[in-house]
Structure 1
Amino acid sequence: MAIGALTPPHTDAAPRQVLIEFPDNRLLIDLCGEHDRNLAEIERALSVHIHRRGNQLEVIGEEAAQDQAAQVLQALYERLEGGRALETGDIDRELRMGGAEAGGGARDGDQLEMFKGGPIEIKTRKKPVEPRTQAQKAYVRSLFEYELAFGIGPAGTGKTYLAVAVGVSMFINGLVDRIILARPAVEAGEKLGYLPGDMKDKVDPYMQPLYDALNDFLPGKQLAKLMEEKRIEIAPLAFMRGRTLSNAFIVLDEAQNATTMQMKMFLTRLGEGSRMVITGDRSQVDLPRGVPSGLWDAERLLGEVPGISFNYFTADDVVRHPLVAAIIKAYEADA
């Protein structure tokens, strides 16, 4: 890819201007987006002005912001050159990453090779998934490198979503034989009463976020078949007692709602050839008053144990609607 050199300012008094040249005008159109909405998003985030001049983009603003805008634009263009369309979240990811991870992601071959440098891409049957913050990138790396990893932080930071994506990726690449997803069946501040139906009907409402994630990564018919064959299981935490989970990718979601004994029980299910991920948010404990969270005890007891990775997220890692991050920060400030 040939991208022109950045031009120096014309005069000391004039605003600093940077010109970036993009050789493929068709890709430049995709880079700008419909009605230049992609450029507008970068302008809002970095407080710069971006003008299109033929096959060049002129960036005007403070020097640091200009340089970051140039890096983001180059990274997005290289993504297009690699045959990847710009999707929702791609611009946000490059802004958060500082545009430092140019290119189209991991190519064919062992996904563990992607940690040798450059961007991280988790391949699933329906779509590739890429971390959008540095904390997410470190978390995904730990999921591939450690047999037991914790992801702890507020809602909307991708803890469960990324864990399920990695699980699906490892499953379709033959690194594990099955996926097991568990959650404590604890109501979030409401009493739901006696639900109708069989056991599956009763527990499915608690498990729906896990179904949602799987549906993002696997075609519906394939997912249904794998679940029928028990190669993918979604079950309440209590159903894990007495099992040894070998050659599996195992996720415990909402772990802050597990008691100390439940957490110990679950952690000791880990068998040969398996990977286990524990995700939770310490600010959303729904256990009865006076019942300690097993997630807190796990942090306290296992923080120094070799071979276990603890990964932490903050409101800055929220990748849902921007208001979600603002809401979390407001509640944290009032705590």
Structure 2
Amino acid sequence: MILRHTFTPHNNTRLSNLCGPMDEHLRTVETGLQVSVAHRHEQFKIDGHKKNAERALEVLQALYELADRPIRDETVQLMLAGDSASLSEDEDGTQRLHTRRADLKARTPNQSVYLENIATHDITFGIGPAGTGKTYLAVACAVDALERSAVQRIVLTRPAVEAGERLGFLPGDLTQKVDPYLRPLYDALYDLMGFDRVVKAFERNQLEIAPLAFMRGRTLNNAFVILDEAQNTTPEQMKMFLTRIGFGARCVVTGDISQIDLPKEATSGLIDAERVLKRVKGIAFTRFTSADVVRHPLVARIVDAYDAQRKTSSAVSTTRSR
């Protein structure tokens, strides 16, 4: 299918920003949607499957509205990741969060469901591949709740498991030893609150970051609690963590079951929890896919390639076992 469109009113600055340096933004749209985009001045021609061509035109029209100033590569990639409703800034009713990032909102339908689940359930699970915003949006919701005084503190935790490596002895005191495992959570906090505010929040005990092993025996009241990298918990650890939740608390558990770093014979606490708790009222599960990836477009393709290989390997193993 070939779509033709003329951008009016004609504006050379907007057209230049829309296309990007050396037509870089157009090439990104072509790669992301498997279409061909050609243009002569304000007249554009899009060639591809009907659905993809219409989607490409939709993205280009949205970009043209933003093109009064240069458009960042990230903006183009985020628009390609979202559905048509997510292209508008405020009219779609998407929940916005009170953080330092004024533009922070859901970029895909599953992210919208995820934010809604966090707002309406005491415990929410976010399960899916890397780059889908599971952890970042959960931390953003926690910061938002703290800003609104809906909770008194934020507690962030991760299991201290090496990602397929043996790091050996780590020098330093306890804080320095566990810091590498928790660094992604610090990065999200700095981005959403700013370095100075994060430091002050730690001083006031409004922020706490700790390894999962430190949760045993505690009761967390009036807190927003996030367990990240939950695929690396055991069923016993997951049960221990979930039973820490106290009155006035909200909990989010995130993980990617395709990146489990536990020993092969061990069962992932995240997989076990989804099986055991899927019918428990008050608990919500949000499943992300490669379509929700909001990093570089290659990340989604990498996720799909590994998923396809895993399914093929599983099918071969099943056939051999018969």
Letter in 1 for 2:223: A
Greater CA drift, 38-47 or 161-170: 38-47
Q: 2:76 aligns with which of 69, 88, 91?
A: 91
Q: Distance in 2 between matches of 1:275 and 1:296?
A: 21
Indicate how the Cα distance of structure 1 residues 51 and 323 shifts in structure 2: closer, same or farther if over 3 A, else same. closer
Q: 1:238 aligns with which of 213, 219, 238?
A: 213
Instruction: Determine whether 1:256 maps to 2:231.
Output: yes
Give the secondary structure class of the aligned counterpart of 2:5: strand
Q: 1:49 aligns with which of 37, 40, 44?
A: 37
Indicate how the Cα distance of structure 1 residues 88 and 228 shifts in structure 2: closer, same or farther if over 3 A, else same. farther
Q: Distance in 2 between matches of 1:334 and 1:26?
A: 45
5 Å-filtered alignment, 1:102-121, equals 102-105=87-90, 117-121=92-96
Indicate how the Cα distance of structure 1 residues 75 and 119 shifts in structure 2: closer, same or farther if over 3 A, else same. farther
Aligned to 1:298: 273
Indicate how the Cα distance of structure 1 residues 68 and 293 shifts in structure 2: closer, same or farther if over 3 A, else same. closer
Q: Distance in 2 between matches of 1:293 and 1:219?
A: 34
Instruction: Determine whether 1:307 maps to 2:282.
Output: yes
Give the secondary structure class of the aligned counterpart of 1:100: helix
Indicate how the Cα distance of structure 1 residues 257 and 29 shifts in structure 2: closer, same or farther if over 3 A, else same. same
CA apart distance, 1:156: 2.4
Q: Say if 2:155 and 2:226, in contact at 8 Å, map to a contact too.
A: yes
Aligned to 1:18: 5
Q: Say if 1:102 and 1:119, in contact at 8 Å, map to a contact too.
A: no
Q: 2:177 aligns with which of 202, 209, 215?
A: 202
Q: Say if 1:42 and 1:69, in contact at 8 Å, map to a contact too.
A: yes
Q: 2:132 aligns with which of 157, 179, 184?
A: 157
Letter in 2 for 1:95: L
5 Å-filtered alignment, 1:59-70, equals 59-62=45-48, 63-70=50-57
Q: Say if 1:73 and 1:99, in contact at 8 Å, map to a contact too.
A: no
Q: Distance in 2 between matches of 1:220 and 1:75?
A: 33
Give the secondary structure class of the aligned counterpart of 1:129: coil
Q: How many aligned positions are there? A: 308
Q: 2:58 aligns with which of 64, 71, 80?
A: 71
Q: Distance in 1 between matches of 2:22 and 2:159?
A: 46
The structure whose residues are more often helix, as a share, is 2
Q: State the structure with bigger RCO (CA 8 A, min sep 6), 1 or 2.
A: 2
Indicate how the Cα distance of structure 1 residues 20 and 69 shifts in structure 2: closer, same or farther if over 3 A, else same. farther
TM-score of the two chains, using structure 1 as the length reference = 0.81
Indicate how the Cα distance of structure 1 residues 50 and 290 shifts in structure 2: closer, same or farther if over 3 A, else same. same
Q: Say if 2:32 and 2:297, in contact at 8 Å, map to a contact too.
A: no
Q: 1:329 aligns with which of 304, 309, 322?
A: 304
Instruction: Determine whether 1:58 maps to 2:44.
Output: yes
Deviations 1:136-158, CA, capped at 9 Å, x for gaps: 22222222222210011222222
Q: 1:222 aligns with which of 197, 207, 222?
A: 197
Indicate how the Cα distance of structure 1 residues 168 and 77 shifts in structure 2: closer, same or farther if over 3 A, else same. farther
Q: Distance in 2 between matches of 1:45 and 1:291?
A: 38
Q: Distance in 1 between matches of 2:131 and 2:142?
A: 19
- Unmatched tracts of structure 1, length 5 or more: 1-13, 107-116
TM-score of the two chains, using structure 2 as the length reference = 0.84
Deviations 1:181-200, CA, capped at 9 Å, x for gaps: 00011222323223222111
- Unmatched tracts of structure 2, length 5 or more: 311-322
Indicate how the Cα distance of structure 1 residues 67 and 126 shifts in structure 2: closer, same or farther if over 3 A, else same. closer
Q: Say if 1:79 and 1:102, in contact at 8 Å, map to a contact too.
A: no
Give the secondary structure class of the aligned counterpart of 2:84: coil
RMSD: 2.7
CA apart distance, 1:299: 0.8
Indicate how the Cα distance of structure 1 residues 23 and 43 shifts in structure 2: closer, same or farther if over 3 A, else same. same
CA apart distance, 1:79: 5.0
Greater CA drift, 314-323 or 261-270: 314-323
Letter in 1 for 2:36: V
Indicate how the Cα distance of structure 1 residues 65 and 21 shifts in structure 2: closer, same or farther if over 3 A, else same. farther
